């Protein structure tokens, strides 16, 4: 079975699984995450009114002492409506374990996205994106300039301006909350010679977009963006000849590269009043849930929500980007690797949600259409995973045209009456036109099929 077929089948099963099995999974997931050390517990909970509780959520904190409520333990997983009714008698608000909250609400989240997608035509999707792009580009350019300055300070072991970094991230969050596709698109603008700086910015942006999808609060989105922006600062203290080596690394050189997590953590601890969560993300983004990562081979229970998200987003962006020693791979191939390694390297629940977010053909990815035209994905169709909304960028002979937005689920045909479908994903390096120039066309598509 081809990967796309397998993934499509899995995504369907993920939504239609038996409720009893899902409840068991949620309880297991909730329990495993409840053991995370107390310094991270505040990050792993969601405040709700008791009227918002749903079966499957795990309550870990009340608005009154646990001794005031007739519950044996200082947590309760909601199994029945009676459990909710009991809490409603005693409490107005509670905190639930964030992972159980995400598991329970994810189906509703997907349904809401489907309704929104159905209400938006291809033309409206394109117009909304083009309206946000100028604002997003201003924030993106300002952010990239700041990251270059910041990394220069790190290389010289100088103090960084963490307050300016927070302002930059706040601008990015503003844009993403308005329209996350614009920033997603701009994250496709890549320059191999500026990999570290652009990678740090892209990881920050993708982490914020994923956090928005997970319904994190704004303060968490800003902290998550800062984790992404600063996660690789330790690389600036690795010798350039090793960091940018095009031939295979020796074992000693590889061990030196791996030290960037320690160097980044030590730098952030001693410079700039950086939050603990940001320091830890720099330290832990190459740790694996199996305990086989680096630098410390720590256990899954020691990894915060921020660590787990940055690990996934960092890997995804690294795989899809051109490096000095290899070309980037298509987004669908990167998704395949995340899917196959979800139990060994990453938080499997978050990987599944990340794949649900980006889809089989992620927003911003290039695809080749069956008639030879090249397109870029505008948005995904939850009910038609292989038929997203795309914008045609070329004619069948790969000559650039005025972009045309089409919804492939509407069975659009070419001039010969053949249905247009996606033939395969493309890596950014597989096109011979200036992708940056194409992405930054601010005028809306003049044609819509």
89, 148, 392 from 63: Cα distances, Å: 12, 45, 53
Give the mean model confidence (pLDDT) for residues 393-411: 90
Residue-wise pLDDT for 150-188, tens only, equals 999 999 999 999 999 999 999 999 999 998 888 888 887
pLDDT on residue 9: 54
Domain extents for the chain?
A: 19-108, 130-358, 366-448
Whether 229 and 203 have beta carbons less than 8 Å apart is answered as yes
Rounded Cα–Cα distance for residues 214 and 212 (Å): 5
pLDDT on residue 166: 95
Helix or strand run (H / E) with residue 94: strand 93-97
Give the mean model confidence (pLDDT) for residues 401-413: 89
From 3.30.2130.10, 1.10.3210.10, 3.30.70.1400, 3.30.365.10, which CATH number describes the 130-358 domain? 1.10.3210.10
What's the distance, Cα to Cα, between the start and end of the chain in Å? 33
Residue-wise pLDDT for 198-226, tens only, equals 999 999 999 999 999 988 989 999 999 99
Which residue, among 242, 169, 159, has the nearest Cα to 211 in the 3D structure?
169
Whether 272 and 159 have beta carbons less than 8 Å apart is answered as yes
Whether 321 and 328 have beta carbons less than 8 Å apart is answered as yes
Strands 400-407 and 389-394: antiparallel
- Does 126 or 29 have the greater pLDDT score? 126
């Amino acid at each position: 079975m081809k990967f796309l077929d397998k993934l499509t089948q899995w995504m369907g099963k993920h939504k239609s699984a038996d409720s009893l099995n899902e409840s068991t999974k949620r309880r297991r997931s909730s329990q495993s995450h409840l053991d995370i050390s107390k310094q991270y517990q505040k990050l792993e909970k969601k405040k709700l009114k008791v009227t918002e509780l749903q079966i499957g959520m795990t309550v870990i904190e009340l608005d009154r002492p646990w001794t005031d409520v007739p519950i044996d333990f200082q947590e309760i997983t909601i199994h029945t409506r009676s459990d909710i009714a009991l809490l409603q008698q005693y409490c107005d608000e509670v905190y639930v374990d964030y992972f159980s909250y995400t598991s329970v609400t994810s189906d509703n989240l997907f349904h809401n996205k489907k309704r929104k997608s159905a209400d938006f035509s291809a033309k409206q999707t394109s117009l909304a994106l083009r309206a946000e792009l100028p604002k997003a580009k201003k924030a993106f350019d300002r952010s990239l300039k700041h990251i270059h300055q910041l990394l220069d300070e790190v290389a010289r072991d100088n103090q960084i301006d963490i307050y300016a970094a927070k302002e930059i991230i706040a601008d990015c969050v503003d844009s993403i909350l308005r329209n996350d596709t614009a920033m997603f698109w701009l994250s496709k603008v890549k320059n191999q010679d500026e990999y570290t700086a652009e990678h740090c910015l892209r990881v920050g942006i993708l982490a914020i977009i994923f956090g928005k999808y997970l319904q994190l609060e704004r303060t968490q989105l800003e902290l998550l963006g800062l984790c992404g922006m600063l996660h690789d600062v330790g690389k600036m203290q690795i010798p350039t000849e090793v960091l940018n080596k095009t031939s295979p690394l020796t074992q000693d050189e590889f061990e030196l590269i791996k030290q960037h997590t320690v160097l980044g953590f030590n730098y952030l601890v001693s410079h700039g009043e950086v939050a603990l969560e940001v320091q830890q993300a720099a330290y832990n983004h190459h740790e694996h849930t199996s305990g086989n990562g680096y630098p410390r081979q720590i256990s899954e229970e020691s990894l915060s929500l921020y660590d787990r998200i940055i690990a996934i987003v960092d890997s995804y962006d690294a795989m899809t980007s051109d490096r000095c020693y290899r070309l980037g791979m298509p987004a669908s191939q990167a998704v395949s690797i995340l899917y196959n390694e979800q139990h060994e390297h990453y938080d499997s629940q978050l990987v599944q949600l990340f794949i649900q977010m980006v889809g089989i053909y992620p927003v911003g990815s290039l695809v080749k259409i069956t008639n030879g035209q090249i397109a870029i994905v505008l948005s995904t169709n939850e009910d038609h995973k292989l038929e997203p909304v795309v914008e045609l960028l070329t004619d069948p002979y790969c000559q650039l045209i005025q972009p045309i937005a089409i919804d492939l689920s509407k069975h659009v045909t070419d001039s010969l009456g053949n249905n247009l479908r996606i033939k395969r994903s493309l890596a950014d390096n597989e096109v011979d036109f200036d992708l940056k120039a194409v992405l930054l066309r601010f005028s809306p598509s003049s044609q819509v099929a």
